[in-house]
Amino acid sequence: MSARPGRFVLSIDLELGWGYRDTRLDRALQRRIQAARDSLPELLSLLVSRKVRATWATVMALELEGADELFSFDEVPSVRALERGGRSGLSEQVTRLPELYFYDEFVRELRSHPEQEVGAHTLTHLVCDRATSERCATFTAELAACQEIAARSSSKLHSLVFPGNYYSSPYLQIARRAGFTCYRGDRFVSGAEPRGALSRSLGRGGRLLDAYLGPVRSSGVEVSSGLKNIPGDRFLRLEDGGFFGRAHLARVEKELKHAAETSATYHLWFHPHNLGSRENGFERLRAVLDLFAEQASAGRLLSLTMGEVAEESEPSG
Ligand SMILES: [Zn+2]
């Protein structure tokens, strides 16, 4: 009997303007976000045509029609703060540039593809750094609103990606109570408290070096605070060209093969704005999908969503 195929997981942080919620959007940033928005239909059809099942970790406010509908969630402290004026003129930007903060047609389109998973990236890209009682209450309210928005499409959210990869046990417990089954966490540090952002401890230089030359990565699934961690193994660097782009692709190729040979799970992630100048970004993404297809056609790798990996892994007891 042949070995069990490895698992290839791709998650996409769908956030558009929400990913820059503490930044004043200058013209260049507005163009970058608009380009990301414009690339979404092509990105979806590419994944569908390549039979890649992705998890779209969506800032759920994107699935609303506009600011008025968002402000109707006035039980959510972060939404109330936003309506009162928010930081860096975010409230003003959300109202003035709705196309950068709302794209309900696209999220509905995603939902019409059952092999694609809509996951959550909170309601407003809430950063879960220090687990103060206030922040935890806001997180609880945001996740309830996320599930409510999904329920309007008779759907349920199972997979969560924490903004900035900040998280800790109290947040994981809240997510479990809100009906989530899995999250994209750090790769495991045995015996360590889940704390998120392990990669930050490497520092920028170490992270960059690791993107091209570091040890081969791939992971399994681990349970933490009742949620399954489908760890993100590598951020896909779609903006790198030339020597660095080739070195990164070679690294990803090695890791895909390693996952195939060891029946492991390999989890890549990126943001649509990382497609950058569109032609190059898509070309690099297609190269990665080609590498996956090579393994998949030989029965050595299977594309699954985060939710599906969580479902097939050992029950969390
Ligand atoms: Zn994000």
299 CA from centroid of ligand 1 (Å): 33
- pLDDT at residue 37, rounded to an integer: 96
294 CA from centroid of ligand 1 (Å): 30
121 CA from centroid of ligand 1 (Å): 7
* % of the chain beyond a pLDDT of 90: 74
- Place 314 in a pLDDT band, splitting at 50, 70 and 90: low
Residue 9 has pLDDT above 80, yes or no: yes
Rounded Cα gap, residues 159 and 150, in angstroms: 12
Give the range among 52-56, 78-82, 204-208, 255-259 with minimum mean pLDDT: 204-208
6 CA from centroid of ligand 1 (Å): 27
221 CA from centroid of ligand 1 (Å): 22
- pLDDT at residue 30, rounded to an integer: 95
Pairing of β 222-224 and β 227-229: antiparallel
32 CA from centroid of ligand 1 (Å): 15
What average pLDDT does range 129-155 have in this prediction? 97
- pLDDT at residue 191, rounded to an integer: 40
- pLDDT (tens digit, 9 = 90+) per residue, 18-77? 999 888 889 999 999 999 999 999 999 999 999 999 999 999 999 999 999 999 999 999
- pLDDT (tens digit, 9 = 90+) per residue, 229-248? 999 999 999 988 889 889 99
- pLDDT at residue 217, rounded to an integer: 64
In this structure, CATH architecture of domain 12-312: Alpha-Beta Barrel (3.20)
317 CA from centroid of ligand 1 (Å): 30
Residue 190 has pLDDT above 50, yes or no: no
- Spell out the domain ranges in the chain: 12-312
- pLDDT at residue 145, rounded to an integer: 98
What average pLDDT does range 199-224 have in this prediction? 63
- Place 218 in a pLDDT band, splitting at 50, 70 and 90: low
- pLDDT at residue 194, rounded to an integer: 44
- What sign has the CA pseudo-torsion 202, 160, 41, 93? negative
Rounded Cα gap, residues 209 and 157, in angstroms: 35
Tell me which long-range contacts 19-22 makes (C-beta under 8 A, separation of at least 24): 19/59, 19/125, 19/163, 19/271, 19/273, 21/87, 21/88, 21/90, 21/124, 21/125, 22/87, 22/88, 22/90
183 CA from centroid of ligand 1 (Å): 13
163 CA from centroid of ligand 1 (Å): 4
* Contact by Cβ (8 Å): 159, 146: no
- pLDDT at residue 187, rounded to an integer: 66
What average pLDDT does range 170-178 have in this prediction? 97
Distances (CA, A) of 211 to 215, 266, 270: 9, 15, 13
Rounded Cα gap, residues 272 and 253, in angstroms: 21
Residue 193 has pLDDT above 90, yes or no: no
Rounded Cα gap, residues 68 and 161, in angstroms: 26
270 CA from centroid of ligand 1 (Å): 10
Rounded Cα gap, residues 193 and 190, in angstroms: 9
What average pLDDT does range 96-101 have in this prediction? 95
